[in-house]
Amino acid sequence: MIRGPGSRAPTPPSGAAPARRGAGQPPPDGQTEQVAAVEQVVYVERAASIDQVTPTDQVTPTDQVTPTDQVTPVDQVTPVDQVTPVDRVTPVDQVTSTDQVTSADQVTSILRWYASHARDLPWRRADASAWAVLVSEIMLQQTPVTRVMPAYEAWLVRWPTPPALAAASPADAVRQWGRLGYPRRALRLHAAARVISERHGGELPSSIDALLALPGVGSYTAAAVASFAFGQRHPVLDTNVRRVLARMAAGRQWPARSPTAAEAALARSLLPARPEVAARWSVAVMELGALVCTAGRPRCGTCPVAAACAWRLAGSPASNGRRGGQPYQGTDRQCRGRLLAILRDADAPVPPSHLDAAWPDDAQRGRALASLIADGLAEHHPDGGYALPAHPPADRPQVPATP
């Protein structure tokens, strides 16, 4: 699909615009998303892995925040009465623990609920470009929507297209990212913009394989962008969706810590056949998890599938599986954040003495600074100072650090 900067994908049949998902979750303190094959199912545990993004110290852990609210505005949603549920749902022949679920009814009920409850966010709108969808997906990893909104809008005002960002320096990207948290995401977006500009004529590619080849884009993000920006048919499983399916179909309060084959089969079985409806279904069940079937206080009384929810019918039994919050105060993550804030606010290389004053523990400060350099978020200058990266990694001069 060839699209100009700021353009939208062709309007799908029946007048529906491609669905948009929402916030963040992302995902986790790993460096790659944990699913290898998008064609099989795409999911992410945003508390453990964020498309190759190593968390830094800008964000206090929010294990209850799962960015999954990117949705197409209600006026862009194809009326549910145009969907013939039985014709559009693959039989659930490979799924265990689904006897309480009538898949066609569940899909129809959730789509109908979504049509009247979808929230209006800028990345869901018809005029949002594929680039804007990618920016939102990256920003929403492990970050609440309320924090993402101003950063997203400011980012796209400054860099509305990939070539615009590619022409800037990595330091500009990190500064613009500000205190959004997990700043390696800024470097990943900058690197992706360069690849898009050099290999794809400045246009975000629409194929899963091409998306997966972009820096910082793992299987979850590739499927999400393909679905929400280009209206394609891919299962998109994030933490919210996994929680909804675990409760609705398997009768468990929490999904397994790692995705299972049964979970993947269930996601595939519920995916509507029409691509534009499949994309809308993916964002609808994410929205249900974000607004109703929440981690902390599920609002079962307002859930459109409560009558057939296996977990509710079993009495909502408690189960293990939810991870506790990660400590932040006094950690290397906090130290990294403090050092990075000093580099971000400086217009010139920062003398080591300024960094020394920012954190009292010499050993911890040394570890944090070394990790910032290793992650490409800081550079050591010949004069002995430190600064944000002025060049992409491939173009960066190698300067040995002072012992």
Quote the CA–CA distance of 119 and 79 in Å, as a whole number: 16
Dihedral (CA of 250, 313, 64, 188) sign: positive
| Cα radius of gyration (the chain) | 22
**Given 33, 137, 263, 276, the catalytic residue:** 137
Report which residue type is found at 390: A
Bridge partner list, 144? none
Cβ-Cβ contacts under 8 Å for 136 (sequence gap 6 or more): 20, 22, 70, 121, 122, 123, 128, 148, 152
Cβ-Cβ contacts under 8 Å for 376 (sequence gap 6 or more): 170, 184, 187, 389, 393
Please give the distance of CA 155 from its chain centroid, rounded to a whole number: 16
CB 308: neighbour CB atoms within 10 A?
A: 17
- Unique residue bearing structure tokens 């209006």: 120
- Unique residue bearing structure tokens 């809008």: 153
153 is catalytic: no
Which one, of 403, 396, 10, lies nearest residue 170 by Cα?
Answer: 396
Residues involved in catalysis: 137
